[in-house]
Amino acid sequence: MDTVSDREIALGVSRLWGLQLFLGILFLILGFVVLSYDADSVTTVAILIGVSFCFTGVSWIVIGSTVREMRWWFVVGGVLALIAGIIAFVHPYDTLKVLGLILGWFLLVTGIIDFIVSLTNRDRDLWWLGLVTGIVMFGLGAWAVREDERSVILLVTIVGVYCLLRGMMMIIAAFQLRKIKKELQSA
């Protein structure tokens, strides 16, 4: 039976650095668009939240397809994010309370996953960025879940900050993957 070496796996994963960079840039752009948006329309907010969920779902499924440890966290999280995105597209007229709860719970789970993944990877460079992001996401999620008077401004702010943080994390990860790829190819 043929087995794949750790070097071959690392080289295969590192080849995805361009996709990681692209998704990170998309997240940053979405974050800037969301934060600069005049929050007058519940439908537009729902669509922006749906896009954010879908970007997250795709990125988590891609990550889940490339890692060995905690793969199911990423795949399950990605599928749930895609489902949440589809719900936001299909039912854009749902109340802000429902969107706020969905977003809040999503951010709570995202924060926990980022926190756990960063602590299990303390031997890697910049592991603490995932820890900080996880804490911020968890805090934003707790705020959204506990907020009784959910407003469009609250949702837009949370989605915008989430997209900016996720984009920065993905861009940093992309350049780390690129560095690994160069090191593996020269070895």
Does residue 59 belong to any structural domain of this protein?
yes
Does residue 169 belong to any structural domain of this protein?
yes
Residue percentage of the chain with pLDDT more than 70:
86
Q: Count of CB atoms within 10 A of residue 153's CB?
A: 10
Q: Count of CB atoms within 10 A of residue 35's CB?
A: 14
Does residue 79 belong to any structural domain of this protein?
yes
Does residue 47 belong to any structural domain of this protein?
yes
Does residue 133 belong to any structural domain of this protein?
yes
Whole-model pTM over 0.85: no
Which domain covers residue 115, as residue numbers? Answer: 6-186
Does residue 98 belong to any structural domain of this protein?
yes
- Looking at the 3D structure of the chain, how many domains does it have? 1
| Per-residue pLDDT at 1 exceeds 70 | no
| Per-residue pLDDT at 82 exceeds 80 | yes
Q: What is the pLDDT averaged over residues 96-119?
A: 84
Average pLDDT of the chain is 82
Does residue 1 belong to any structural domain of this protein?
no
For residue 162, what is the domain's CATH number?
A: 1.25.40
Q: If DSSP states are collapsed to H, E and C, what string results for 133-180?
A: HHHHHHHHHHHHHHCCCCCHHHHHHHHHHHHHHHHHHHHHHHHHHHHH
